[in-house]
Amino acid sequence: MPGLWTMVAKDLRQRIRDKSVFIFSLIVPLALMGVLSLVFGGLGEDTVDLQPATVVASADDADQLGAALLGAVDSLEIMDVTIKRVPAADVRHETQASGADLGIIIPEGFSNAVLSGQAASVQLVEGDNASLESGVLISVVQGVVDQFAAGTVTAAAGGLSGLPRQDLAALARHAAAGPSLLTLTEGQAAAEQLSLRGTLVAGQAGLFLMFTVGFGVLGLLAEREQGTLARLRSMPVTGAAVITAKACTGFILGVVATTVLLTAGSQLFGVSFGSPLVVAALILSVVTAATSLTFVVARLVRTAEQANVAQSILAVVLGIAGGAFFPVQGTGFAATLLDLNPIGAFNRGLGISAGGGNVGDVTGPVAVMLAFAAAGLLLARILPDRGAQA
């Protein structure tokens, strides 16, 4: 197409000269990545491994079941637990003051109460920061107490069934601590999702991509407002070349900005997105989808200002639905809709590639993005022109 690259070069020169593209495409998203990563930093680590935990506990050393309970907590395989013994009255204070994950108060005479079937309650004090580890520990204590309860109930049932009293303790022990019928073989799923920070970096890159590509096709509106579109039309270039040039400009800006954001983001926040080849395929696909959307916008609006608003609405709606600020979950139809969002597909693709996926593994998300691009182009052809290109 004659004149195409001349127009693209001119457009790029104008965009580079205008600081807005840098602000919208690089500075703002990077700043947001930084802030979000700071504020979300308190919400948990990016790892599945449980951190060592501290438990503040009070128990009578002579109490058999109490010791058994603490022993079970102390000897957990899944995490390192340090138990700090304090008098019962101090547990609550000490738990909060020392920043421990959990406080356990085992009542006096616990064993006797349990064995004789009288009410007894293990009291737990949750740590201040409600950590993941607290949750695990609470569940562990619950499990142990469940076992004690099972023993008590079994002993009582044995008594009711007329078994001799001296056999009941053994019966209880057998019921509570006998070999479990159900055991677990545990595995971990292949990760096809980004870490928290990875989601933030990818999400912001996706969100602002919509703004960035908008600097391309929507430049048509600026041409019209400057009167230069009429002059271009009087020149030996086709209308298709003019529009293609705008799309190319948006595409180039989008690819550059997204690449810079992902690279800078992964360096600054220590995120890895996996194979550069896969990431490149994903970037090209998502930029194509975003660019096609700008054609639809260009059809719907009359002025550059309307275009900015429409572009912003699409950017935030698709961006937020794609998980730019927080992961959005849906079920049924909503989940399908979320899956069709190109920004969502981009993040999913990055998740797969971060988990070690290759180009073949991301065909799903890539197909979604390219289908979205095709649908956008088709829609732009069908929609009546409201002025931008007239």
Partner 1 sequence: MSAIVAIATVELRRFLRDKSNLFFVFIFPLMLILLLGSQFGAGSGQPRVTIAGPGSTLTQALTAELESAGVDVTASGEDAARADLRRGRTDVGMFLDDADAAAFHAGRPAELAVVMASQSSAQAVLQQVRTAVQAVGLDRSQLAALTGAGIPEEQARPALDQAAAQVAAPTVQIVDTGDVVQEFRGLGKFDLGASQQLLLFVFLSSLTGAATLIQARRFGVVGRVMSAPVSSGQVVAGQALGRFAIAFVQGGFIMVGTALLFGVDWGNLWLSALVLVLFCAVSAAAAMMVGSVMDNDTAAAGVGVGAGLVLAGLGGCMVPPEFFPETLAAVSFATPHRWAYEALSAIQRHDGTLGDVLPELGVLAGMAAALLVLGAGLLRRSLNRAL
Partner 2 sequence: MLVEVVQTQTRDVLDVSGLVRRYGELTAVDGVSFHIRSGETYGLLGPNGAGKTTIISMVAGLIPAHGGTVRVAGRAMTPSKTEAKRIIGLVPQELAIYPDLTARENLKFFGRLQGLRGRELTRRTNEVLELIGLNDRAGDLTKKYSGGMKRRLNIGIGLLHRPTLLILDEPTVGVDPQSRNAILESVERLSVEGMAVLYTTHYMEEAERLCDRIAIIDEGRVQAEGTRDELITLTGGVDRINLRGGGSMSRAAEALRGLPAVQHVDNDGAGLILTVSDGPTALAGIVTGAGHAGMSVTSVEIVRPDLESVFLHLTGKALRD
Is residue 2 a contact point for partner 2 (CB under 8 A)? yes
Smallest separation (angstroms) from partner 2 to the CB of 387 = 14
- Give the H or E element holding residue 192: none
Can you read off the two tokens belonging to residue 254?
């989008």
- 65 or 279: whose CB is closer to partner 1? 65
Work out what residue 88 binds among partner 1, partner 2, none; the CB cut-off runs from 5 to 8 Å by kind. Answer: none
Give the nearer residue to partner 1 in terms of CB position, either 6 or 305.
Answer: 305
Considering only residues 185 to 244 of the shown chain, the ones binding partner 1 according to CB under 8 A are 185-193
Distance from C-alpha of 70 to C-alpha of 77, rounded to nearest angstrom: 14
Q: Is-contact 354 273, C-beta < 8 A?
A: yes
User: Contacts with partner 1 in 249-308 (CB under 8 A)?
Assistant: 305-306, 308
Structure tokens at 187: 């595995």
CA-to-CA dists, residue 189 to 270, 298, 330, angstroms: 23, 43, 21
CB of 239 to partner 1, least distance (A): 26
One of 40, 72, 109, 280 touching partner 1 (CB under 8 A): 40
Q: Which residue has the tokens 């998203």?
A: 29
Q: Binding partner 1 by CB under 8 A: which of 130, 235, 277, 337? A: 130
Closer of 66 and 376 to partner 1 (Cβ): 66
Q: Which does 305 bind (CB under 5 to 8 A by kind): partner 2, partner 1, none?
A: partner 1
Chain centroid offset of residue 172 CA: 46
**Closer to partner 2 at the Cβ: 228 or 363?**
228
Question: In the range 220-259, which residues lie near partner 2 by CB under 8 A?
Answer: 226-228, 230-239
171 or 220, CB closer to partner 1? 171
User: Any contact of residue 157 with partner 1 (CB under 8 A)?
Assistant: yes
What is the SS3 assignment for 82?
strand
Q: Under rule CB under 8 A, which residues in 12-31 are in contact with partner 1? A: 18-20, 23-24, 27-28, 31
User: Rule CB under 8 A: which of 4-33 touch partner 2?
Assistant: 6-7, 10, 13-14, 17-18
Cα–Cα separations (whole angstroms), residue 326 to 187, 196, 318: 27, 9, 13
Binding-site size for partner 1 (CB under 8 A) equals 110
Cα separation, 15 vs 307, in Å, equals 17
Nearest to 60 by CA among 9, 4, 111, 108: 108
| 360 sits near partner 1 (criterion: CB under 8 A) | no
Element (H, E) at 176: helix 165-177
Is residue 279 packed enough to be buried (19+ CB in 10 Å), middle (13-18) or exposed (0-12)? buried
Distance between CA atoms of residues 150 and 172, nearest Å = 8
Return residues touching partner 2 (CB under 8 A). Answer: 2-3, 6-7, 10, 13-14, 17-18, 226-228, 230-239
